[in-house]
Amino acid sequence: MPTLPNPDRILDTGLAFWRSKTLLAAVELGVFTALGDGPLTAEQLRERLQLHPRAVPDFPDALLALGFLEREGSGAQAAYRNTPETQLYLDRRSGAYLGGALEMANARLYPFWGRLGEALRSGLPQNELRDGGSSMFETLYREPARLEQFMSAMTGFSAGNFTLLAERFDFGRFRSLADVGGATGQLACIVAERHPHLACTTHDLPAVTEIAQRHIERRGLSARVRAQSIDFLADEFPRADVITMGMILHDWNLETKQRLLRKAFDALPSGGCLIAIDHLIDDDRRHNAFGLLMSLNMLIEFGDAFDYSGADFDGWAREAGFARTEVIALAGPGAAAVAYKA
């Protein structure tokens, strides 16, 4: 009798939202922050978070089984504690906090992805715009305090990629860097800290520039990193030896992507380069599942926006006038696509 294929992967993926929502709820409720000061029993954790009695012990034990908590003992006196990863990345008081991205995923993306089928049929966004509301960014830009909170929370999501870029790319022969769409100025600051010879600027809309200035001051880099206002869709790009765009290029449709590359080419000197940091899809479109899922997320958020491969980037860059390109692997599925001007 032939051996039947194993259905586990089908079931695990089809029900993966159970695991996802359990982790997202834990971040939302502050489980890992509550355990940041030390172990708690299930009842102590329930009281600390004001949960219903039915929540324990299933909720903390599920997080234990998923690998997000550790437990000493069993029964009512068992003590739960964070793993090294959740202590570092999911305690809100940690400087390496990654939960901002997960909080956004829980509050916004989770319900929007429930309409993925509709997005695939219609090609239209399934976010706030679907019901006639304003997009998340439009709302954020009207509320400066909320905008700063969001951008601060999201810094952890990009820190690994930006740090590895500063380590792996040879900035030695360049003298200036301009980060377009630089948000809090994180990329410019990370590169400036590692390469003190570079003059670095970060460029974004006026409301964001004020936030960037405060972040730069907190890092003690005001003398070396400047924040300047720009509308990169309407204005010309700043002139610099290196132009970077961190998680920017994938937000746009093909026409806008090509226009941004032409703007970068025009602003760069001979020998300069453009660096786009995104979750690049592998050229064969077989392996970087995160990049492909991120591209579906761009469909959910914007409709005609999409992620891209190194081969895609190479074609657009050469069409814009660049002489050659390369791809530098960064953290996990992240990568830097680099285009050099002759």
Side chain identity, residue 168:
R
The CA distance from 79 to 46, in Å, is 12
Which residue is catalytic, options 203, 250, 279, 287?
250
Whether 197 is catalytic: no
Cα–Cα distance for residue pair 198/188, rounded to 1 Å: 10
Q: Residue 23, exposed/middle/buried by CB under 10 A (0-12, 13-18, 19+)?
A: buried
Q: What is the rounded distance in angstroms from the CA atom of residue 136 to the CA atom of residue 87?
A: 29
Please give the Cα distance from 266 to 254 (Å, whole number).
Answer: 19
What are 23's two structure tokens? 């982790």
What the block records as the tokens of 164 is 């590895």
Residue 95 near residue 152 (C-beta atoms within 8 A): no
Burial 71-108 (b: 16+ CB within 10 A, else e): beeeeeebbbebbeebbebbbeebeebbbbbbbbbbee
**Ordered DSSP codes for 100-131:** HHHHHIIIIIHHHHTTHHHHHHH----SGGGG
Distance from C-alpha of 221 to C-alpha of 296, rounded to nearest angstrom: 37
CA-based torsion, 270, 203, 151, 87: positive or negative: positive
Is residue 182 within 8 A of residue 206, CB to CB? The reply is: no
**Residues designated catalytic:** 250
